[in-house]
Each structure stands twice: as C-alpha cells, then as structure tokens.
Structure 1
Amino acid sequence: MNGGVLRVKHHLVGGFSTVTLCPKVTDHVREEIKAFLLNKANAKAALQMQQPAFDYDEEVEEPRPSQPNLKKRKGPMDKFVAPTPPDVLKGRKDRKDIFGVCDKEERDNACRAIAKWFYDAAIPFNAANYDSFKEALELVGRYGSGFKPPSMYELRVPFLIKEVEEVENQLVEHKTEWAAKGCSIMSDGWRDSVVQKDIINFLVNSPKGSVFIKSVDVSEAVKDANLLFSMLDRMVDEVGEANVVQVVTDNASNYVKAGKFISV
C-alpha cells in the first residue's frame, strides 16, 4: 500500500477511516503502538495549547481507546481546534485556576443527571462505589460529546454474551490454578428474611483468589447432615477430588457431621 510509517501505524492500531485494521496484529503490539500515538498526540496538543500552530497540510485522526473501530469524519474546523487529550480531562481537578467555577458547574450538572438516573431506576446508592461504575464514566468522558448509550437489546444480548465469555475465561484460569496448587471449597448457609428462603452458597478459594460457583435454595428441604454431605460431595466431584485440599463449612452440628462424612 502507499503511504509512510504513520499509515502503517494506523493500519496496526485500527479505528481510522483511511486504512483497515490489520487482521494479524497481536494485542500487545496494537496496545503499544496505540499508547505511542496517544502520547505523541497529547504532547502535540499540549504544545498547541501553549503556542497555537496550525498545520494545513497534515490531517491526523486520533484513535479512541473505547472505540477502536470507530470511523471519524473530520471537518474544516478540526484544523483550528486542538483535541482534548485524556490527561487534560483527568487533571482538571488539579488546575482549578484554569477551569474554576465553570468546571464545578459542569460537574454539578453531570452529577445531578447521574443522580436522577439512579432515582428513576431505583438503583441502590452503594452501586456508585463499584469500580465498574467509575470505569464506565471515565470511558464515556474519553469518548466525548455525542456518546450514544447502549440500547436495551445491546445490554440484554451482545454485551451480556461478552461478559459471560469473559467470566468463563477467568474461570478457566482459576481451574488451572486449582490443578496446579490445590484449592479449598467453602460453604455457608444464610436465610433471606425478605423472601423467606434458605440459601447455601458454594465458593472455591485458591492462591489466585476466591470464585463464587453457585447458590442452592434449600427452603423446602431438610437441612440435615445427609443433604449437606450430598451437596458437598457433588461440589468435590465438580472441582476435582485431586484438587481439593480442604472443605470449609459452618460450625453448626449438621455441617460438622457432614464434614466427617466427607473426610471418611
């Protein structure tokens, strides 16, 4: 193809309207080149903010980290407007002398809109403490104005499928760790006072971390030692008997008896 080294970089990173994404580039190479292009663009933008210098012969499209395949159409005004790099947005709170009252007012308006969404959807307030919530807002901020939120269908089907696949891939890594270093099965029962249900949770712990496996509703069952032994025994088989180092349970008498059955 025609073009210089910048065009090759765009080909490897993707997200540019002038070239297609290379189908053979590895993830670490693409991320390294993307970081290089972003750092170079940020340095250029910072220089333009200090001393504006317009280049009428060069037109560069900056890749958006959250939308690698997004095609951006540039207009004539783009030559006179420097893009806002991510570190400028991130560092607003440290530069109150530049943004001042205007920045506080814009943040208040954005926070009120987010709060209203929490109220309308009856979302628990502690959901704001989730790291995923903060990451989502950060990526929306990087995208900039005009972001189109996901539709109900996208939330229910394509994005949900991707999240399930990611969790399954993480579980494969944990299972590899179980086989290599062993693991512990943890079981704990509790009662939901709202819906009046008895639940038993099963988790597996290893040096890589704890993984929730499943919950079992035992509201209609007699929670004696035989039932608990049967469920724990199935969990041992599911995890792999050779991988299980110990079984950790409640100290109630029925759990203690079930533990003795397992150790035999």
Structure 2
Amino acid sequence: MQRVVEEVELRVKQSLPRPVPLPSGIGSSSASPGIWYGLDPKKKKGVSGAIEKAFNIGAREKLDGEIARMFYTCGLSFHFARNPHYVNAFKSAYTNPISGYLPPGYNSLRTTLLQKEKANIERLLNPIKDSWVLKGVSVCSDGWSDSQQRPLINILAVCEIGPMFLKAVNCEGEVKDKHFIASLLIDSIREISPQNVVRVITDNVVNCKAAGLLVEAKFPHIF
C-alpha cells in the first residue's frame, strides 16, 4: 500500500506545472507568498501591474475593508448596505470629490443635520397634510411590541393620498384602559385638527371600543 501511495504521489507531482512565485504587491506577504502555476513571471508581472493600476485594486480593497469594519464594529445590519442613501453617499463622494472633506461628526448628526432633515421631511409631507382639508382623514391606531418587548401604540393619519405616521407612544408602566387610549386618540385628533378627521379606526377589543365611545362623545361628528 505504501508503494502504491508513493507511485500516485509521484505521478501527481509530475503532472503539476512548475510553480512560480507571485510578483511583488500581489497576494499575501513575503513570508507566505501566493503561487501562479505554469505562467511566465515576467509576463504575469506586467499584466497584473497594468490591471492593478487601471482598476486601483489596492485602494479599492482598503476602502472595502474600512467599510466592512464600520459594519462589524458598530453591529450594523447588513441590510443597511441596501439603503439607497448609503450607496448614493459614496457615489457623490466619487463623482464630486471635495478636498479635505470629512464626514459629519457625532454632534452635527444629532443637532443641525437632524433639524435640517426634519424640516425636509415636513416639506415632503405638506402635500399630504393639504389634502386633509379637502378629503378628510382617518386616524388609525394599533398596539404592538418592539424588538425590546416594549408595549407601543402607534398613531397614523390615513387619507386618499396615503398613510402618514404621526407617532408611537411607549406605554411601558401605563394601564391601557379606555381613558388612556382615548386621551392618545384625542391628542392626535387635535394635532390633525378635529374638523379634518372623519373617523377613528382601532382594534375591536373592549377597551378600544370604550375609548371610541369617549372620542365620539368629545367629537360627535367623528365616527
């Protein structure tokens, strides 16, 4: 059996092409160089150098590594890579290079930039709000639990153009009786303006039905 194994190993070695070390700058470190099989090292060096220069492979790999570490060290969801704003940010940086530019820091993200984006969202929502006066709006509410198992009640305003999220209230430690739910609905109706609200839609559990009666008593025109 040992003789058969040695014969097979010899045939395998004879059938392999002569190994040639990789040109410098490609593959792993000099301590454990990569291998090109059956290729002229001089020709390979020229081809690989041209490809690396044309596609800037080294810089691409370095940038990919930094982006990957951003995901790993902050525990970001891999779905974030599908966010169009994430992709557009890098496209913009590539097509419009700004000398000395640094990405926004901690303070600007939580203050000035947040305020600007809030104003931008309000501007985008204005067409929906304007339609409330003409078409009327339904206030929709439902309870659910987030990833941390906190009990939340969300409020949405739905009209012909589409739904608009108003708020989600953390009800942790609260008794979700008819008075508590009715107060949330009444506050939302006042935020929208009572004359724009046509109806309120909730779950059909007992406390929500009782809250609906309190809302109708407060605003007789709302169903």
Query: Which category of TM-score, normalised to the shorter sequence, fits these structures?
Result: 0.5 to 0.7
**Superimposed CA distance per residue, residues 95-139 of structure 1 (whole angstroms, 9 cap, x where no aligned partner):** xxxx97754946554333212111122222222222222222221
**Superimposed CA distance per residue, residues 56-109 of structure 1 (whole angstroms, 9 cap, x where no aligned partner):** xxxxxxxxxxxxxxxxxxxxxxxxxxxxxxxxxxxxxxxxxxx97754946554
What residue is the counterpart of 1:59 in the other structure?
A: none
Q: Give TM-score scaled by structure 2 length.
A: 0.62
What residue is the counterpart of 1:114 in the other structure?
A: 67
What residue is the counterpart of 1:71 in the other structure?
A: none
In structure 2, the residue corresponding to 1:242 is in which secondary structure?
Answer: helix
What residue is the counterpart of 2:110 in the other structure?
A: 156
Structure 1 residue corresponding to 2:197, chosen from 240, 244, 250: 244
Deviation at 1:200, TM superposition (A): 0.9
Cα distance in 2 for partners of 1:100, 1:181 equals 61
What residue is the counterpart of 2:40 in the other structure?
A: none
Cα distance in 2 for partners of 1:224, 1:104 equals 64
Q: Structure 1 residues 164, 145: closer, same or farther in 2, change over 3 A?
A: closer
Cα distance in 2 for partners of 1:193, 1:119 equals 20
Q: Match for 2:116: what amino acid?
A: K
Report the aligned-residue RMSD. 2.7
What aligned pairs does 1:128-139 form with structure 2 within 5 A after superposition? 128-139=81-92
Cα distance in 2 for partners of 1:108, 1:205 equals 47
**Superimposed CA distance per residue, residues 210-253 of structure 1 (whole angstroms, 9 cap, x where no aligned partner):** 22212222222211122212221221122112211222222323
Q: Structure 1 residues 153, 192: closer, same or farther in 2, change over 3 A?
A: closer
- What stretches of structure 2 of length at least 5 have no aligned partner? 1-49, 218-223
Cα distance in 1 for partners of 2:215, 2:111 equals 41
Which entry has the higher C-alpha Rg, 1 or 2? 2
Cα distance in 2 for partners of 1:140, 1:248 equals 46
